[in-house]
Amino acid sequence: MQLIFKALTINYKTAPVEIREKLSLSESECHRFLQKASEMFALSELFVLSTCNRTEIYYSLPETNTINTTPDIPACPFSSSKPLSQKLIALLITQKGLSDSESYFPYFHSIEEHKEAVKHLFSVSMGLESQVIGDIQISNQVKKAYQHSADLNLASPFLHRLLHTVFFTNKRVAQETSFRDGAASVSYAAAEMTSELAQTVIQPKVLVIGVGEIGGDVVKNLDAADYHTVTVMNRTFEKAQEFANAQGFEVARIENLKEEVQKADVIICSVAANKPILTKKLVEEVQGIRFKYLIDLSVPRSIEPEVEQIPHVMIYNIDQIQNRTAEVIERRKSAIPHVQSIIDEAIEGFEDWSKEMIVSPTIHRLKNALEQIRKEEINRHLKNLDEKEIKKIEMITKGMMQKIIKLPVIQLKAACKRGEAETLVDVLNDLFNLEQDEKV
């Protein structure tokens, strides 16, 4: 029986961050949701993806199956909703301990059509639906989500094949297009620029001042292997310590700003303040003959522009960083048609496989039926044959069976692509009494 693949999504396009964060699931929460949903709704195939920008539920149902095992929940106002879709959303809201559940329904979008749900998963996994187009993190997030389902035996051959096709397609996109080239967010771009600048320095020392949203992301994207030391500093010391410990970096108190600026070769400043934290006076007092590269990610600026008047000091501001990302985004956008063609090709191959899966039980039963006939006929004559003759007859009859089965299999697979397999399956079932043999 054919499976119908469906999806539910709440994402940055459908809901603001204050709503998304309430419905975001940690790894342990995803695990609990998968277990509970599979138990309540007898689902054998379930996949949950939750990131800062989206929470999505993918599931499969037999084509004729309708599941209605729980009390009705209030009708939700989003279009094309089905009872199970509503119940899965209600379960998610309940698990998060939220009241006034009806108010969250409008933020969800339900994808009930099989092909549309498959294409949505491909688009999300490639980064076409990401807030930062071509996001390189989403692929690993999808892999982790798939692993959770596999660990709980909530992935059938259909979902296994679908996700592995997604991963192979992602590799093709990375290898054959420019869709993943360059840094497309401010934090990625700043980390990339830091790495480039550090290559001009022997044993480079990096100082990050401020670990808000952008500064924190920069810290996460710095690779310790590229630098002699990375030191994290923040007005709240505990927050700086948290980020530094997570990455294995050093930490310093804001009171030691002058000493840390003196030691650093590259300084990334992302501080929300009314006036600059790095002034010309401060930098002049500590600057020697080595170059210092300063990256200012703040608005208003946290580094005085006059600092660049100091010999051997160079400042890069947020506009320069964003220009780098804008160029990358344009390159990625230009690659979208190529990415779409790769996705379309992958989906076409997957759909062919899915259709063939419908007839695989019939092929298996036909092979068994013919093999049973072969064995029965051979057994009738075994007592009159020696071992050498038996081996020869085995070889001849097996070869005959393979040739006999070849044409029906080819015709069945061709009928799948034409969408006409059902008629041929019925003919084979009637000719060889396959369904009756299976019952027996």
Nearest to 264 by CA among 296, 234, 230: 230
Q: Domain 186-316, what fold?
A: Rossmann fold (3.40.50)
State residue 67's pLDDT score: 46
Helix axes 213-221, 186-198, angle to 10 degrees: 50
Q: Is the pLDDT of residue 12 over 80?
A: yes
148 vs 372, more confident = 148
Nearest to 265 by CA among 284, 292, 287: 292
Q: Domain 3-176, what fold?
A: Beta Polymerase; domain 2 (3.30.460)
Is residue 204 within 8 A of residue 227, CB to CB? The reply is yes
State residue 80's pLDDT score: 43
Q: Which residues pair with 58 in a beta bridge?
A: 7, 47
State residue 389's pLDDT score: 83
State residue 51's pLDDT score: 85
Parse the chain into domains and list their residue ranges. 3-176, 186-316, 359-439
State residue 358's pLDDT score: 67
Q: Is the pLDDT of residue 392 over 70?
A: yes
Q: Is the pLDDT of residue 285 over 70?
A: yes
425 vs 86, more confident = 86
State residue 359's pLDDT score: 66
- Three-class secondary structure of residue 315 per DSSP: strand
Chain mean pLDDT for the chain: 85
CATH fold match for the domains 3-176 and 186-316: no
Q: Is the pLDDT of residue 437 over 60?
A: no
State residue 113's pLDDT score: 94
Question: Is residue 231 classed exposed, middle or buried when 0-12, 13-18 and 19+ CB atoms within 10 A define those classes?
Answer: buried
Active-site position among 30, 52, 76, 269:
52
pTM: 0.68
Is residue 52 flagged as an active site residue? yes
Structure tokens at 252: 């310093």
State residue 70's pLDDT score: 40
Confidence grade of residue 69 (pLDDT, cut at 50, 70, 90): very low
- The three state secondary structure string of 200-241 is CCCCCEEEEECCCHHHHHHHHHCCHHHCCEEEEEECCHHHHH
325 vs 417, more confident = 325
